[in-house]
C-alpha cells in the first residue's frame, strides 16, 4: 500500500517535472522568443538589454533559470509576467480558475445526466428507431466543432431570436461571478454549458450504449435474467452499475483536461475570462512565466484527477480493490 502510494507520488512528480522542463525548453530554446527584447521594449539600447538580461537572470545557465522559475512559481509564488510588468502570475490564475470551474462543472452535470439517460435508453431499446436516432444525434454532436456551435448559439440567442420570449433572458457575453449574483451567473453560463456539453453527450452516450450492449451478452446478465429480475432492474442495477467503471475513468480524464484549460475554445467564443483563454493569451504573447504557470496548473489538475479516478475505481470495482 505504502509502496504503491510512493510509486504514484514519484510518477506524479516525474510527469510534472517532464512537462515543465519540456515547456521551458521549447519556449526558451525557440529563437525569437528571447524574452529580453520583449521586456526591454522595442529599439532598446544594448545597455538596457544587458541590464534586463542580468536583472531577470537570462545570462545564467538554463538549469539555474529553470530552478529559479520553479522556485518563484511554487515556493515564493511571486512569479511575474514578462509582458505586463509586475503582474503576478499566480493570482491571475486564481482569478481565472473559478470561471473555468463554473463552466466545466455545469457542463459536466448536463453531459453526465443526459448521456446516461440517452445511452441507457438506447441500449434498452437496442435496434429500434429510438436507438438509431439517439445514436445518430450523438454522432452529430461529436461532429460539431465547438467554437462553431458556440457562434451559432450566439447567433440564435444574442441576435436572431434574442427578441423573442424564448431567448430574451440571455444576457450579453461575459461572466458574472457566482458570489455576486447567483442568478446572473446561472443565466450567463447556461448557453456555454450546453454548447460545451454537446460533444461530450455524444461521446459518452455512445460509449455507454456500446458498453451496455456488450455487457448484455455477458454471463452475469444472463444469470440476472434467470433470477427473474425485471428488465429495468437488470439494466440499471447490473448493467449500468458495471458500465460505470469505464464511464468514470473516461469522465475523470475529460473533466480534468477541461478544467485544466481544454475548454479554451468555448471560453474564447463566449468571452469567458477562464484559464483556457488565459493560457491562450499567454501563448500568443509568448509570456513565458504565464505559460509555465498555466501549463503547470493544467498538469496538476490532470494528475490530481487521475488520482481521484483511481480512488473512485476502488469504490466501483472490487476487483481492483484486491489487486493492490
Partner 1 sequence: MTAEAPPPPGPWRQALRGLLRNRAAMVAFAVLALITLSCALAPLYARDIARTDPFTSNVAGSILLGRHEVDIMQPNDNPLHLGLSPIGPTGHAAYLLGADSQGRDVAARLLYGGRNSLLIAACAAVLCLLLAAAAGIAAGFFGGLVDVILSRLMDIMWAVPVYLFAISLSIVTVSQGLKLGPFVVEADSLLIPIVIIALVYVPYAARPIRGRVLALRQAEFVTAARCLGVPRWRIVLFDILPNVTTTLVVLGPLLMALSLLAESALSFLSIGVQAPAASWGTIIQDGEGLIYTRPMVAIAPGLAIVLVVLALNILGDGLRDALDVRDSARRSS
Partner 2 sequence: MPAETIPMLPAPLLEVRDLCVSFPSRGRMIPIVEHVSFTLGERDILGLVGESGSGKSVTAMALMGLIDSPGVQITGSALFRGQELVGLAQKQLLRLRGSEIAMIFQDPMTAFTPVYTIGWQIDEQIRAHERLSRKQARARTVELLADMGVPDPARTADRYPHQLSGGLRQRAMIAMALSCNPSLLIADEPTTALDVTVQAQILDLIRSLRSTYGSSVLLITHDMGVVAETCDTTLVLYSGRVAETGPTDALFAHPGHPYTAALLASIPPLDGPRPHRLPAIAGAPPAPLERPAGCAFAPRCSYAHETCRDAPPPLVPLVPAGQAGQAGQAGQNTGAQSAANIQQQSAQFAACVLPAEGTLLLPRLLEADTAMSSPGGIILGLSDQGIQPMLSSAGEPPL
Task: Please give the helix or strand (H or E) that residue 303 lies within, else none.
Answer: helix 288-316
- Pick from partner 1, partner 2, none: which does 151 bind, CB < 5 to 8 A by kind? partner 1
Which of 162, 225 has the CB closer to partner 2?
225
User: What minimum distance in Å lies between the beta carbon of 212 and partner 2?
Assistant: 13
Pick the piece of the chain touching partner 1 (CB under 8 A) from 171-179, 182-190, 255-263, 312-320. 255-263
Q: Cβ–Cβ contacts within 10 Å for residue 116, how many? A: 18
Buried b (16+ CB within 10 A) or exposed e, 296-321: bbbbbbbbebbeebeebbeebbeeee
Least CB distance to partner 2 at residue 317 (A): 6
Q: Is 213 in the site for partner 2 (CB under 8 A)?
A: no
**Could you say whether residue 245 binds partner 1 (CB under 8 A)?**
no
* Span near partner 1 by CB under 8 A; candidates 10-18, 93-101, 188-196, 232-240: 10-18
Alpha-carbon gap, residue 68 to 321, rounded angstroms: 41
CB 209 within 8 A of CB 123: yes
Per the CB < 8 A criterion, the answer to whether 108 and 179 are in contact is no
Closest listed residue to residue 259, CA positions, set 111, 116, 108 = 108
Q: Is there binding between residue 181 and partner 2 (CB under 8 A)?
A: no
Taking alpha carbons only, the member of 296, 252, 294 closest to residue 277 is 294
Extract the C-alpha cell encoding 69.
Answer: 522559475
Site membership for partner 1, residue 5 (CB under 8 A): no
Nearer to partner 1, 147 or 185 (CB): 147
| 182-215 vs 241-257: helix crossing angle, rounded to 10 | 130
Evaluate whether 256 touches 306 at the Cβ level (below 8 Å). Answer: yes
Shorter beta-carbon distance to partner 1: residue 188 or 303: 303
Question: Segment 288-307, which members bind partner 1 (CB under 8 A)?
Answer: 291, 295, 298-299, 302-303
Looking at the DSSP assignment, which residues form a beta bridge with residue 88? 80
Which is closer to partner 1, CB of 45 or CB of 161?
161
SS3 assignment, position 124 = helix
Q: CB–CB of 132/219 below 8 Å?
A: no
Q: Does 218 bind partner 2 (CB under 8 A)?
A: yes
26 or 125: whose CB is closer to partner 1?
26
Span 94-133, contacts to partner 2 by CB under 8 A:
127
- Backbone φ and ψ of 80, nearest 5°: -115, 150
Cell for 177? Answer: 461571478
Candidate segments 89-97, 169-177, 193-201, 314-322, binder of partner 2 by CB under 8 A? 314-322
Q: Alpha-carbon distance 41 to 48, whole Å?
A: 9
Task: Give the distance, in angstroms, between the CA of residue 172 and the centroid of all CA atoms in the same chain.
Answer: 24
Please identify which residue in 51, 95, 162, 225 interacts with partner 2, judged by CB under 8 A.
225
Of 3-11, 117-125, 218-226, 299-307, the window that binds partner 2 (rule: CB under 8 A) is: 218-226
Question: Nearest approach, Cβ of 158 to partner 1 (angstroms)?
Answer: 7
Which three cell numbers mark 215? Answer: 455487457
Q: Which of 283, 307, 308, 312 binds partner 1 (CB under 8 A)?
A: 283
x-marked contacts with partner 2 along 239-278 as a string, rule CB under 8 A: --xx--x---------------------------------
* Residues within the interface to partner 2 (CB under 8 A): 127, 218-220, 222-231, 233, 237-238, 241-242, 245, 316-319, 322
Amino acid at each position: 500500500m505504502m509502496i504503491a502510494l510512493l510509486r504514484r507520488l514519484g510518477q506524479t512528480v516525474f510527469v510534472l517535472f517532464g512537462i515543465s522542463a519540456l515547456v521551458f525548453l521549447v519556449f526558451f530554446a525557440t529563437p525569437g522568443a528571447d524574452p529580453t527584447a520583449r521586456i526591454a521594449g522595442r529599439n532598446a539600447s544594448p545597455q538596457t538589454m544587458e541590464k534586463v538580461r542580468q536583472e531577470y537572470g537570462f545570462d545564467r545557465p538554463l538549469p539555474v533559470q529553470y530552478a529559479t522559475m520553479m522556485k518563484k512559481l511554487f515556493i515564493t509564488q511571486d512569479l511575474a509576467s514578462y509582458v505586463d510588468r509586475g503582474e503576478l502570475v499566480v493570482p491571475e490564475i486564481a482569478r481565472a480558475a473559478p470561471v473555468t470551474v463554473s463552466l466545466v462543472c455545469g457542463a459536466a452535470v448536463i453531459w453526465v445526466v443526459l448521456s446516461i439517460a440517452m445511452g441507457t435508453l438506447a441500449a434498452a431499446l437496442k435496434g429500434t428507431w429510438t436507438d438509431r436516432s439517439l445514436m445518430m444525434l450523438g454522432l452529430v454532436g461529436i461532429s460539431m466543432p465547438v467554437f462553431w456551435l458556440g457562434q451559432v448559439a450566439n447567433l440564435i440567442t444574442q441576435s436572431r431570436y434574442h427578441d423573442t420570449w424564448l431567448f430574451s433572458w440571455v444576457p450579453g457575453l461575459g461572466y458574472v461571478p457566482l458570489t455576486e449574483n447567483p442568478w446572473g451567473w446561472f443565466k450567463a453560463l447556461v448557453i456555454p454549458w450546453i454548447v460545451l456539453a454537446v460533444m461530450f453527450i455524444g461521446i459518452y452516450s455512445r460509449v455507454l450504449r456500446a458498453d451496455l450492449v456488450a455487457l448484455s451478452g455477458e454471463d452475469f446478465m444472463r444469470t440476472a435474467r434467470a433470477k427473474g429480475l425485471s428488465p429495468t432492474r437488470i439494466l440499471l442495477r447490473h448493467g449500468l452499475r458495471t458500465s460505470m467503471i469505464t464511464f468514470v475513468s473516461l469522465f475523470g480524464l475529460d473533466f480534468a483536461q477541461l478544467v485544466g484549460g481544454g475548454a479554451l475554445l468555448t471560453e474564447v467564443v463566449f468571452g469567458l475570462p477562464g484559464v483556457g483563454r488565459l493560457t491562450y493569451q499567454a501563448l500568443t504573447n509568448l509570456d513565458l512565466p504565464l505559460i509555465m504557470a498555466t501549463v503547470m496548473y493544467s498538469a496538476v489538475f490532470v494528475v490530481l484527477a487521475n488520482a481521484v479516478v483511481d480512488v473512485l475505481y476502488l469504490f466501483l470495482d472490487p476487483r481492483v480493490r484486491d489487486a493492490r
